């Protein structure tokens, strides 16, 4: 994959919203999980993360703290417009072709699912979120980040499972 500068989770979320938010199916929870899946699938093929922060282990799955701060005011309502950081500036979005290909691929794979379904997927046995939660007896300290290496290993195995035999 062709790497560009690291992107903020908000830029990734805004790109999902700009490209697919008109369908009215993107909620805060859903876009959090879509960003997590983009993060994981990128790590499956590139040793360097493309996001500026790691997801944290929260009750409903992986969450990017800065993205939570930016989008939590939407509650469970659909988000149809990208979120601005500054009133007089355009919302941050991605223009790197490799990142856009990844976003489209993640949407095609996961976009039909609700935020709750995506959350359930991140909680499945063997997932990085589940492994950390179990190691901490489901009492994960606040702001605990999912290690990139755990996420990378999981998505590498997922990628291998997609390969024809």
Position 87 scores a pLDDT of 72
Encode pLDDT of 8-42 as tens digits: 999 999 999 999 999 889 999 999 999 999 999 99
- Pair of tokens at residue 89: 């500036």
- What is the reported pLDDT for 3? 72
Instruction: Express each pLDDT in 75-121 by its tens digit.
Output: 999 999 999 887 777 788 898 999 999 999 999 999 999 999 999 99
For residues 138-145, average pLDDT: 93
Token pair of 79, please? Answer: 């988000």
- Token pair, residue 58, equals 């929260």
Taking 70 as the threshold, does the pLDDT of residue 1 lie above it? no
Overall average pLDDT of the 45-52 stretch: 94
Q: Is the per-residue pLDDT at 162 higher than 80? A: yes
Domain boundaries, the chain: 9-153
pLDDT at 2 over 80: no
Neighbours of 91 (CB within 10 A): 18
- Residues of the chain with pLDDT > 90, as a percent, come to 85
- pLDDT at residue number 58: 95
Average pLDDT taken over every residue of the chain: 94
Phi-psi region of 123 (alpha: psi -120 to 50; beta: other; left: phi over 0): alpha
* 152 vs 88, more confident: 152
DSSP category for residue 72:
G
Identify the helix (H) or strand (E) that includes residue 66.
helix 65-71
């Amino acid at each position: 994959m062709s790497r560009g500068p690291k992107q903020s989770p908000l830029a990734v979320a805004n790109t999902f919203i700009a490209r697919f938010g008109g369908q009215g199916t993107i909620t805060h929870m859903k876009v959090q999980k879509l960003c997590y899946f983009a993060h994981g699938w990128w790590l499956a093929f590139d040793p360097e993360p493309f996001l500026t922060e790691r997801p944290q282990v929260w009750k409903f799955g992986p969450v990017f703290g800065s993205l939570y701060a930016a989008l939590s005011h939407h509650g469970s309502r659909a988000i149809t417009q990208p979120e601005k950081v500054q009133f007089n500036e355009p919302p941050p979005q991605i223009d790197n072709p490799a990142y856009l290909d990844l976003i489209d691929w993640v949407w095609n794979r996961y976009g039909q699912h609700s935020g709750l379904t995506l959350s359930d997927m991140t909680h499945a046995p063997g997932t990085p979120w589940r492994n950390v939660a179990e190691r901490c007896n489901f009492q994960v300290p606040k702001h605990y980040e999912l290690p990139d290496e755990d996420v990378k290993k999981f998505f590498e195995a997922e990628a291998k499972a997609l390969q024809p035999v």
